[in-house]
Amino acid sequence: YGDHRALHSFPTRRSSDLIRTLSDLDLKGQRVFVRADLNVPLDGKGEVMDETRIQAILPTLRHLADHQCPVILASHLGRPKGPDPSASLVGVAKRLAELIDGTVLFPGEVVGERVTSTAEELKAGEVLLLENLRFHPGEKGGDPEFARALRDLADIYVNDAFGTAHRKDTSTYDLAFLFEQRAAGLLIEKEVAALSRIVEDPERPFVAIVGGAKISGKLEILKSLIHKANLLLVGGGLANTFLAAKGYQIGKSLVEEDLLQEARNIMALAQQRQVMIRLPTDAITTDRIDSKNRYHIQVNVIPVNHLIADIGEQTVGKFQADIARAKTVFWNGPMGIFEKSGFAGGTRAIAKAVAACEGFTVVGGGESVAAVHQSNVADRINHISTGGGASLEFIAGNSLPALEALAL
């Protein structure tokens, strides 16, 4: 009868049933190359400021240690154009050693003699962390020689860098194919399982909440959500473009003039598919981005010298009621300029409403996740995605190169 998975395969390659996972591997004592996303913020002295992404890789490292595997760990950090001490992973190595309470060797180069000899002598449960992959020009563009050099360090390939899964870099894509034994780590497995539940067969009503500021990138996501969700709640900077597209004067608010027509197309598509797009009806505005002045104003009478900085309480109330009834919630993008306490109220209220929702709740996106932590509700959200761009691409139904490389 062969592989039982073939009996219930999905038409899409995206399903968690269709990528190779650690349980598909024969790990015992094997040397494992792990591509992680350790792209953490560093302070001026190279110390790790937020270790969420280091924490996220620990389950996979523990699993490999339990199987007596020596681990060669690799990641990028920031966007250096070449070797750059301010983007070194040395601080990550230090913090990781504390967290696993074990040995983390850091030869300080991406590939080379020191890495090779350290890898050869690496013992079970020890970790060798390579220097920032982006210090090497071969990380971009699928350089076969660079891929070969990384390949020679290990027997098995594991990718657990969900945050980078939408990029076709040498270490996230080309390298995978050089290993017969390759699989997703526990973090990617968890991400794919949670996000698949939203993409494939969400319990209804499915309410998607979208906000934030990266408007051009998010309109495509909104469009694909129209095919999946029952109701779209649009807030944050993103809502402004829709309000403007409907003809409202919104003063000095953040808006993408080039995208007004696209916003109209999206509203027409939603109407055609009988999906409701709920826009803010009231807002918290200010007269200067750097001022603490705040005014509560209906969106149809925004003064020309004001800008929308948060959703208003009437809008919050409607969004809350929609979220309370939802069986599935996906949230990306804050409702206002939440970094400033005077304009954080809408985002915090939505975070609490999502936490209180009894349905299956998922939050993705750098700032949205920060807002969830700020509101102290992280433990009441079913899944917090570690990948901003990657989770959006996944939800939109786009194929992720790193997952493609791990397909069964």
Shortest Cβ 341–ligand ADP spacing (Å): 12
Distance (Å, rounded) from C-alpha 114 to C-alpha 131?
A: 11
Q: Which is nearer to ligand ADP, 158 or 308 (CB)?
A: 308
**Could you say whether residue 120 binds ligand ADP (CB under 6 A)?**
no
**Could you say whether residue 339 binds ligand ADP (CB under 6 A)?**
yes
**Could you say whether residue 80 binds ligand ADP (CB under 6 A)?**
no
Q: Is 14 a catalytic residue?
A: no
Distance (Å, rounded) from C-alpha 130 to C-alpha 146?
A: 13
Q: Which stretch binds Mg ion (CB under 5 A): 72-80, 285-293, 362-370, 375-383?
A: 362-370
Residue 379 burial class via C-beta count within 10 angstroms: exposed 0-12, middle 13-18, buried 19 and up: exposed
* Count of residues interacting with Mg ion (CB under 5 A): 2
* Binding characters for ligand ADP, 245-264, by CB under 6 A (x = yes): ---------x----------
Number of Cβ within a 10 Å radius of residue 348: 22
Residue nearest to Mg ion (CB): 366
Note whether 298 and 282 are within 8 A (CB).
Answer: yes
Distance (Å, rounded) from C-alpha 113 to C-alpha 129?
A: 14
**Could you say whether residue 39 binds Mg ion (CB under 5 A)?**
no
SS3 297: strand
**Could you say whether residue 377 binds ligand ADP (CB under 6 A)?**
no
**Could you say whether residue 262 binds Mg ion (CB under 5 A)?**
no
Distance (Å, rounded) from C-alpha 4 to C-alpha 294?
A: 60
Q: Is 148 a catalytic residue?
A: no
The interface partner of residue 20, options being Mg ion, ligand ADP, none and the CB cut-off 5 to 8 Å by kind, is none
Shortest Cβ 6–ligand ADP spacing (Å): 37
Q: CA nearest 299: which of 319, 318, 315, 287?
A: 315
Note whether 304 and 182 are within 8 A (CB).
Answer: no
Q: Is 53 a catalytic residue?
A: yes
Check residue 128 and report its DSSP letter: E
Check residue 170 and report its DSSP letter: I
For 264-286, letters b (16+ CB in 10 Å) and e give: eebbeebeeeebebbbbebbbbb
**Could you say whether residue 389 binds Mg ion (CB under 5 A)?**
no
Q: Which is nearer to Mg ion, 153 or 254 (CB)?
A: 254
CA distances from 306 to 198, 287, 299 (A): 38, 4, 11
Residue 365 burial class via C-beta count within 10 angstroms: exposed 0-12, middle 13-18, buried 19 and up: buried
Binds ligand ADP by CB under 6 A, chosen from 110, 198, 309, 406: 309
Distance between first and last Cα of the chain: 17
Q: CA nearest 396: which of 388, 384, 404, 407?
A: 388
Q: Is 389 a catalytic residue?
A: yes
**Could you say whether residue 196 binds ligand ADP (CB under 6 A)?**
no
Q: Which residue has the tokens 């999905």?
A: 10
Binds ligand ADP by CB under 6 A, chosen from 188, 226, 337, 402: 337
The interface partner of residue 333, options being ligand ADP, Mg ion, none and the CB cut-off 5 to 8 Å by kind, is ligand ADP
Shortest Cβ 162–Mg ion spacing (Å): 16
Shortest Cβ 161–ligand ADP spacing (Å): 18
**Could you say whether residue 366 binds Mg ion (CB under 5 A)?**
yes
Q: Which is nearer to ligand ADP, 47 or 339 (CB)?
A: 339
Q: Give residue 14's Cα distance to chain centre.
A: 16
Catalytic site positions = 53, 214, 366, 389
In the complex, which residues of this chain contact ligand ADP (CB under 6 A)? 211-214, 236-237, 254, 308-309, 332-334, 336-337, 339, 365-368, 388
In the complex, which residues of this chain contact Mg ion (CB under 5 A)? 366-367
